[in-house]
Amino acid sequence: MAQDASSLVSPLKCSRRGEDETETRKSVFDPHSLDSNLIQKMGYEALVWSSLHGLVVGDRNSQKSGKVPGVGLVHAPISLLPMPFPESHWKQACEVAPIFNELVDRVSLDAEFLQESLSRTKKVDAFTSRLLDIHAKMLEMNKKEEIRLGLHRSDYMLDQQTNLLLQIELNTISSSFAGLSVLVSELHRSLLHEFKQHLSLDPERSPLNNTVGQFAEALSKAWAEYNNPRAVVMIVVQTVERNMYDQHWLFTVLKERYQVRSIRKTLAEIDAQGEILPDGTLVVDGEAVAVVYFRAGYTPSDYPSESEWSARLLIEQSCAIKCPSIAYHLAGTKKIQQELAKPNQLERFLENKDDIAKVRKCFAGLWSLDDSSIVKDAIERPGLYVMKPQREGGGNNIYGDDVRLALQRMQKEGMEEDAAYILMQRIFPTISPAILMREGISHKEHVISELGVYGTYLRNKTKVIMNYHSGHLLRTKVSSSDEGGVAAGFAVLDSIYLV
């Protein structure tokens, strides 16, 4: 529900410093009541800023925009102004990021836990099954990943009723928007400065955001650990990628700041051009590869033929550093998220009681579909649940009445298909007014937001070289939409204004 309109003082008015904190929290940030001339002016400035600073994506109306850089660019879908977000919850998400990084690392080392937790899923989900096969092959070979690099993004929604920050999921593969998240924060700060008199908002309340710098630093340090000055970082890409500028940002910073070269290859190209030397070195197109960074390979459509699977296997067998390794990839599945939420599971991987409590506090209700009482409840009250398969990239979940229909069908058919899914408590964030900009046009909408906090982790054997929270991203979508993908066209990039 939107905030109480009766407490509206003036548009975008926030309490001045020194006023009591509860006042600040209550203060209303209502961009809908801004003067339409002002909205137009700010929108125009936002479009100019985005175009000049590279806050751009490929335009789906232009045919070559997913293949050729510089062709068919459009400003990224954005929120015109940052979204008020409680500072305490933002800090909470930053504080748990290193603990989640460590948790992923520990889970990735427990091969039996991964294989066992996903064993029922394996029978009914061909994609997860193939990933597990690669994982099993590595176990057979006794393959050890001594240098481990994690570039994660843990996503949260703030549940309105309980005021709890609850984790939606933890992405361990292809966590996107390291580049554009920084830019949208900068855009918002610049608008807050420029229109200060009209908005009376404090630009300092928009926290600095350096995801791209920290991701590049992590990649450069991983590259240095590999210790071959001639080697490159290889970005595994999809054949068509409209979010390529986000990726180019990261690799431009890597090149300019750390003088590390990179190459972009699809899985099919890696299959055709790749080989492993007797010493384990991965060579692709004549270049030794130090780090493989995946921005593809997380969804079944990235593997249209056996070539792509053999490329994934080739990478895994090599001694290149994988971001992520197959074990990190599996540790980020929804099934593992659900297993870790069971009683006494976190204790298997973490020792520190405070850390365990902090992580657990972020867990929403998560259940396996072999829990008959939850399935019964979900059939009766489907709106309170989300049903999730082991997929990434948005657009795969089941909501509302479809949850009931899917569960009933599976019950009737008595198949094991239910093992492909988990059930999750549906989170209901506060609905706020916002102005969203797409293709040069501003829209007044009622929206909900999802906070993503990035994490970087690098270790070599027993030495933890990096373990940090590393920037943030807010994604905002119209409240009537179930799914939140920016690339899928539902959500926009946004940033936080601390309250």
Range 333-337, long-range pairs (CB < 8 A, 24+ positions)? 333/118, 333/128, 333/390, 334/169, 334/388, 334/389, 334/390, 334/422, 334/424, 335/117, 335/118, 335/121, 335/128, 335/390, 335/422, 336/107, 336/114, 336/117, 336/118, 337/167, 337/169, 337/170, 337/366, 337/422
One-letter amino acid for residue 215 of the chain: F
Catalytic residue among 122, 221, 242, 388: 388
One-letter amino acid for residue 196 of the chain: K
Residues contacting 280, CB < 8 A, separation 6+: 318, 319
- Is 386 a binder of ligand ADP (CB under 6 A)? yes
- Is 171 a binder of Mg ion (CB under 5 A)? yes
- Is 203 a binder of ligand ADP (CB under 6 A)? no
- Is 345 a binder of Mg ion (CB under 5 A)? no
**Cα 252 from Cα 254, distance rounded (Å):** 5
- Is 450 a binder of ligand ADP (CB under 6 A)? yes
Residue 234 in 3-state DSSP? strand
By C-beta, is 105 or 450 nearer to ligand ADP?
450
Among 84, 131, 484, 486, which residue sits at the site for ligand ADP (rule: CB under 6 A)?
Answer: 484
- Is 392 a binder of Mg ion (CB under 5 A)? yes
Q: Kindly list the distances between the CA atom of residue 260 and the CA atoms of 106, 152, 232, 257, 396, in Å, as whole numbers in the listed order.
A: 29, 21, 7, 8, 36
Q: Nearest approach, Cβ of 263 to ligand ADP (angstroms)?
A: 27
What φ, ψ does residue 449 adopt, rounded to 5°? -125, 155
- Is 333 a binder of Mg ion (CB under 5 A)? no
CA angle 396, 401, 407 (to 5 degrees): 75
By C-beta, is 148 or 391 nearer to ligand ADP?
391
483 binds, among Mg ion, ligand ADP, none (CB under 5 to 8 A by kind): ligand ADP
Q: Nearest approach, Cβ of 392 to Mg ion (angstroms)?
A: 4
Note if 358 is an active site residue: no
**How many positions of this chain bind ligand ADP (CB under 6 A)?**
19
Among 397, 432, 456, 476, which residue sits at the site for ligand ADP (rule: CB under 6 A)?
Answer: 397
Catalytic residue among 108, 171, 181, 432: 171
Per-residue x/- mask for Mg ion, residues 141 to 170, rule CB under 5 A?
Answer: ----------------------------x-
**Cα 422 from Cα 280, distance rounded (Å):** 38
Lateral strand order in the sheet of 385-389 = 366-368, 421-425, 385-389, 398-399
Q: Nearest approach, Cβ of 161 to ligand ADP (angstroms)?
A: 13
By C-beta, is 14 or 493 nearer to ligand ADP?
493
One-letter amino acid for residue 90 of the chain: W
Strand partners, 293: 235, 323
Per-residue x/- mask for Mg ion, residues 350 to 389, rule CB under 5 A?
Answer: ----------------------------------------
Note if 388 is an active site residue: yes
Per-residue x/- mask for ligand ADP, residues 126 to 165, rule CB under 6 A?
Answer: -----------------------------x----------
Closest residue to ligand ADP, judged by C-beta, is 484
User: How far is residue 342 CA from its own chain's centroid?
Assistant: 23
- Is 338 a binder of Mg ion (CB under 5 A)? no
Catalytic residue among 27, 58, 101, 169: 169
- Is 445 a binder of ligand ADP (CB under 6 A)? no
DSSP conformational letter for 230: T
Q: Nearest approach, Cβ of 453 to Mg ion (angstroms)?
A: 13
Torsion of CA 135, 141, 144, 150, to 10 degrees: -20
Note if 393 is an active site residue: yes
By C-beta, is 155 or 316 nearer to ligand ADP?
155
Please report the beta strands in 230-345, taking only residues with DSSP state E, as ranges in sequence order: 232-236, 262-265, 274-276, 282-284, 287-294, 321-323
Among 396, 416, 460, 478, which residue sits at the site for ligand ADP (rule: CB under 6 A)?
Answer: 396
Of 136, 462, 139, 130, residue with least CA distance to 298: 130
Rg (the chain; Cα; Å): 23
- Is 206 a binder of Mg ion (CB under 5 A)? no
- Is 168 a binder of ligand ADP (CB under 6 A)? yes
Contact footprint for Mg ion (CB under 5 A): 169, 171, 392
Q: Which residues are catalytic?
A: 153, 169, 171, 176, 334, 388, 392-393, 475
Contact footprint for ligand ADP (CB under 6 A): 155, 168-169, 364, 386, 388, 391-394, 396-397, 424-427, 450, 483-484
